[in-house]
Structure 1
């Protein structure tokens, strides 16, 4: 006990001053951001220095303190005793071994100095001390919780500690004098031999490797082996190996790798990439899928600026605002934006991130970016389909509806249903209102349909009835409906269509005597449409038909009636298109193939049909011409569809013309003012000219000036009249090179009076030297006038700020010409922003909702895009972008 107290007294100063020195080194290394290994080296110097004071216990305590400081402050993750990096763990192990060995060696050196002074006493105790030391080190070697092996040059086990043999399931005698490779997997034995040879080639150099060992029972464990070759007493080299069981760590690493692989696969399948972003340090991490979504090299250093650069120009401002707000407020964010990729394609991205706090107290955003292009494309197509459906219903006078058979109310009705019944789309319709519009004679029939639907006697209904319009007219409706059964098994709704068949009914009454034939013809046409297909044909050397496939009946052609005929005998348009048939005959005489010859003929009932045919000559084995083989197709439906499309385009042109004329009516006051000004100036200058001429000595110079002014004012009035006549003119689209700024100036001349009468100030920012576009001047004037008039009307209710309209022309990032019209009026409600360009959508009580829709059609016909821009200031900004065509650059 006294010696123990004495030992503690000797250790206390060493431990105290050593701890203070370690603390100073720790603070210095933290301040200098020293590397882990450099810090370990500094700690080692401190431990070895204070070990010279003589206490092995204090030196061991300092060693443990140093290891704890290394693990806690300098080994990732910081401020925890866990060490994740294997290299850092090796440094700690090496530090421990070196510090213990060094402490021991220094202590031993001190002991040897002590022994030199008391040599006689030590000689007497040397044998006993040596024996005790051997026992202690043998005990340490045997019972140390690590596997130790001693090998010779051939890899034979010279010695192994009890722990190592027991851990592998062997007795020490079973391993000693046997080759060490026997406890490794067959495929790893060559690797182990190579590692042993490497150690022997470099005596004294430590080597480390990970390998799997096999226990006696056949189970496998992972070990990390630290090996070192050294020379034995007789200069014979041996290899010392210390093995650490790392099976659990390896299993954890493999599980982590599998988890990362599964996560990467899931992200790829869901088109969702993950990211993290440290708002304090600016460090960012992107997953592989995130780089793929942004089409960036995974070696690129990710940063928020890359997101802004890849963002579509129209969305960059909002994306930058969200990023700035997130950095400023350090809060979660979620938004959608578009990417403009280098290949010109556009992606829609939904990004969502959550602000988290790291162990060091820093704010880090962790989130995901999902490619939702497919969903947005489908949504746009759905909206376009809805617009097409509404237009198709209007053109075909067919409305769709859904009727609640219990509540006796419309669940849904299209705009065309309101038009057919004469309802106000903005007002609810009661059952009494509906019944008041049904002809009294037809009302029982509709009530019977509802009764049968409720009792589920029928599933499909088709019936006719008459509608009494508010103006006294009668409209005949053909309706088709079917029942909808709810989850309770009862009928809940009727869904169907109403078609205006008033004209068809009148025609049916006028042609009642041909009704049977008409129905038969309709059935034949329906059969043709349902069974139409291509048919094969073959002609001989004289170009007469020798074979027709059975599919000719699908187009109503009787194959037996065409056998032996020439194609120009079958056709009915030879006299109308002689040049086409002359070229076709020339092709046949030259025995050349032909494609897509379209001609008109008649079917077996005498009805005209259109046929597209292609053929190829064929020859026998000697090269003799044998005729043609080919395929024909009935394209009657396509031709009629093209004709219908031409009629639709004609109707759209008529509507655009009517809109221009209506606009001119609204601008009558402005136009009259613009014409009256130069006319009044002409009268004043004419009076002045007469005055100068009436003098005794006529002032010819002043009179000449007056005449020149008269000419200028007459030209000015003529230009106004020319612009008005051009807008009112009805003609074909004339695509010519245009300067968009000149078109704007023409519009300003027509709307100046409207601006003055509504007390609206006009400001223009027209960029100079804009490239010319290819367009129709009149149609583009119509678009700009419509946007200007909408802006003027939007500012009628503004009283708290100046009314100002801005017309701005510029060039976008892609070199296209863009024009924006901005007002400071009431603006567009957020719920209406997505529909403001749709047909028949309006926020005006007296509007039709076609102005902006027509403007969008005109801009898109020019290859451009009309859009509503979002802004923080009051009012609304409409902008259209037009491409610069090569023709316009010449």
Structure 2
């Protein structure tokens, strides 16, 4: 409407002023008596001129008015609107046409010019607005509290906002042009490449992931990244990534996990189990600690009836009443009762529960049950503890107090506080009197603490001051205090302790004298080191010897001759043990400590000696490697002893082998019988098999049975031969996990014939499922065979009683497996009992006295012990104990 009114006003103004101008041109033409065409031209100029104002309607009206004026004033006949002259009419028509067309064209040009001007203005406004919007969006991009990164297909950073770069500790210029993988952990870079590749494969689709980024200072930033790939202006794909800082959330999640673990530990430490119980559905939940308190299997479905069943008979009715009351009228409850556990022990339980309403409207009881057995037992000790606390304060010279920060006076102070200030118990003391005994230089500090306590709700204060006593002496006091916040949120009091540290101050003086004594002690240690049997050495960064203590002369080594040499130049076993020296040199090059390196060298007399050395690198204050320091020991005597021991063990093994072969000679009859018996059976079964096969119609089933018997007898004979070969074999000791009962069974198979031929009854008492021992099967078989054969020989002269040999095995309280061989023979004389295990002692006329001695050596080599057991009645009993295999023990 407003535009229509403006257009009407503009048209009226145009028509009015145009009409006046046409009237002026008309009067001028009449006065000047101008030609018809000239007047028409003047009118046309006026119409075209006023058409520039913009209204086509007003211009058309002026054209009509001009035609009327031409026809009335200038076309014959004058003063009449009638036109008789055809030429004049043609001019009038041409005038009207030109004026209308000209007006229309001028209007069009004006409109187009105005449209162009408006378009240009609009473009200027759009450009300004676009620039403004770009500026605003760039400001948003740069300062948005989120990290924005744009990368190309290769992961190179094209752009990053200031906030994001700052968040990572970089400037934008440090990141642009660099690979985005540089801000990821090494182990996460493959994941980052995969995420970018996924975005590029699904252009336009948003992708989300969580990752860790490394700030410039090395700290970790957890982010949740939203990324989308898009095509750039040149159809080149880029990936825009928006990162949300979730470090705090991750820390919260970790804290939550720790909190859950801490809650479980707290329940375990506090003996408190939690529970929940839905009254409507009967569903219940018990924590692990509650199961432990009730001593129930965690797989048991929780139910109130289980608690009632475990309740002490005297408390059962009250527990039932509490449960029934909770079901009738769900309200918070608190109850204390006793449990009788399966082992007969009694626990005191304190249970508390409160009601909560679930989303479905059901009532849930959520509570905790605490084992307060210890608390009940501690109640009696509590009163004693209060007395002990007062005594402890007196003995430790520590007093406790509470200070009103507004009233500026003590709310409470223990008797020890008054004693520290030199007051008598029960003596009325004012605050001014107490202040008078504080050293004047320390009083402002105490007043400052009291002032700060009113404003600092989390305050903890630790300070020292001095007390001046009436006798002129002075006490040094160390005080620790913290504020207490009341229910109104304001600090109400300051609670703390005063400790007499006068002795500590005196100790400072004693410390100085102690430092001097320490220096003297250090010199004393140096003197000890110089007089020790070991010698000290030092090498430089090139590993050449730079220092040797004087003790090398004790090993026959001249210190001066070794200066500047390398350890592997001193040693004589470098070519014999190249791997050992290669590893040692690698250790030195890595600047690592080494220990117990043993090598061979020669002393100044040319005699080989063995040295054990250990060393540790040392460095300068700037961290530069300076060399090694260490200690060396002459261990020639130890090495020689080890070599002698190895020779002794070798000789013992040779002797044991000879003894086994001798024993096999004694078992020749038994072995021959054990082999001949299955061989005879094989021959018999083979003849039978041929008979079954030679029939007119061969009996294949019977022949197959004969062949199976042949195989069984062959296996029997082979097993006997295997045992004999094992005993006769001379080989290395093979330590393996063994079942001692299996070893006994192998021995019985070898000595059965001997037992029968000597009319000896064998009785075994072997404990089943014994743990494994660690030993050599052949050597342990030799020990048992020797003990069995000795027992058989000891019963040869027995005719008045049953010849019985008993083999027993079991486990003792010390965790050892033992085996005993007991006979009913002539026994061992009391005078011989202490010597029977010694080498070359024998009671046999043709014996060497080495059997039992070798048995003892074998048992002791297995870490065990062979002994003569005390026995009631005739005969003797030999027993050996062996430790368990290490895997069984662990």
TM-score normalised over the length of structure 1? 0.39
- The structure with the larger Rg is 2
